[in-house]
Structure 1
Amino acid sequence: MNKKSHKGLFIALLVIALWFCSLSFFLNFEVNFSNPLIYIFILIQAHLYTGLFITAHDAMHGTVYSANRGLNNLIGQICTALYAAFPFKALNAKHHLHHSHVHSHDDPDYHHGNFFQWYFHFITQYITWWEIVFMAIIFNILKLWFDEVNLVLFWVIPSLISTLQLFYFGTYLPHKGEHDNKHQSRSQKRNHFLAFISCYFFGYHYEHHDSPGTPWWQLWILKDKANHI
């Protein structure tokens, strides 16, 4: 095992563990809507949901555990299952279409329309009816152990916020409009703190397309080396 593959696996497991621990705490938290911590907790959990998907995305590029493709893909499947019962294999195929046909009619992430039309297109590319039904079943099972209000606040709402976070910072802003570069992408201005809290450095989107084998936690390094805005 080389150091790079070891670190990628450690970071992936850390993201999953943080998601589990925070969700466990929040689901047992006594809800009082006058407590401002509730709204902070929602944002924290949304950020960790985004981390699950970004980790799965790294697995799609084989960077979670490059030493073992099977384990790499298993981590990806765990993340997509926890995120919204997504099948990793199907998402993997669509994501590589995005890289192969970026900003074209064959790109599943691209849509020629306004923000809301594009978001709807984005969501329908990845969410199917059976996944909605399955998540509804899981929700009702979880109600046997957790308060429904907690489930809505810390399980449902954060996942929905995360879809907006992933779409807006990881798809819409980087790919909207016309571009004069080979990756048909723009990159967020250099600010590593904002880049991390917004979408795990995926605002540095040109850098990702230019080096898809670079994991999310190293994209800031590429941004530091970049000459473009």
Structure 2
Amino acid sequence: MPLIQKHRGVFIAFAIITLWFTCLSFLLQQTVNWASPLTYFFILVQMHLYTGLFITAHDAMHGVVSRNKKVNQLVGVSTAGLFAYNNYFRLLPRHHAHHRHVATDQDPDYHGGNFFAWYYSFLKQYITWPQLLLMAVTFNFLKLIFPVENVVLYWMLPAILATFQLFYFGTYLPHRGEHEPDNKHKSGTQAKNHVWAFLSCYFFGYHYEHHDKPYLPWWQLYKVKS
């Protein structure tokens, strides 16, 4: 138990990676039943696990997965890469720029336009041509082994949906509109509901709390929600 307590962040990261890989491996081999609600449920499960990969990479950017810098970086690089080949070292300075210059012209996550313009700007910040090329190569490899519809439904589509989940609950809702002058983090927050906060985006709807205490991992954010 002391070992688990000491390295809880690493164990939680490993659990998310294992769940993502196990579910994906299972679902890629199943016959797709378009009439079954389970098909769509499992798409949402995979979406949530993809989001978990990115949230874990995000925690690594704040150095809170492990006190061991090499382990922390390894987890960050791995989870970012599993989510559509994101480059951890490219994401790292951009995310810290977001924290330093939140909701300003220097914030790479912020956009003053409408929802769709903002989402497009968000995607441009986090998607690169090398990523798309690697995704295309992987897609063509996977479809040699598994049915195409399984690859699309359980590997490709959940990743796309997860970008929307991350954007909507972790960027758009917290930072849209005007904030009170005394709101030093220029961030909103969800109403207190820990179940919904976890399901929607791993507690990152408690976004003011994250900006106020970025040293807390996602699984402890709920503790500071008033």
TM-score range, shorter chain: over 0.9
Matches within 5 A, 1:1-16: 5-16=6-17
- TM superposition shift of 1:3: 6.2
1:185 alignment partner, SS class? coil
Identity of aligned residues (%): 57
Tell me what 1:33 maps to. Answer: 34
- Rounded to whole Å, the distance in 2 between the matches of 1:217 and 1:15 is 12
Structure-to-structure mapping, 1:105-184, within 5 angstroms: 105-180=105-180, 181-184=183-186
Q: Unaligned 5+ residue runs, structure 2?
A: none
Tell me, in whole angstroms, the C-alpha distance in 2 between the residues paired with 1:53 and 1:171. Answer: 14
Structure 1 residue 4: deviation in Å?
5.4
Give runs of aligned pairs for residues 33-72 of structure 1, distance below 5 A.
Answer: 33-66=34-67, 68-72=68-72
Shift of the alpha carbon at 1:117?
Answer: 0.2
- The two structures have a TM-score, normalised by structure 2, of 0.96
Q: Secondary structure of 1:84's partner?
A: coil
Q: Kindly tell me the number of residue pairs found equivalent between the two proteins.
A: 223
Superposition misfits of 4+ residues, deviation over 2 angstroms: 1-5
Distance 1:33-1:2 versus aligned 2 partners, 3 A rule: closer
Q: After TM superposition, give the deviation of residue 197 of structure 1 in Å.
A: 0.3
Alignment root-mean-square deviation, CA: 1.1
Match of 2:200 in 1: 198
Match of 1:189 in 2: 191
2:81 maps to 81
TM-score with structure 1 length normalisation?
0.95
Alpha-carbon contact 2:32-2:150 (below 8 Å) kept: yes
- The one-letter amino acid of 1:43's match is L
Q: Summarize deviations over 1:62-81 as a string: whole Å, max 9, x none.
A: 11112x11110110110011
Contact 2:4 2:11 (8 Å CA) reproduced = no
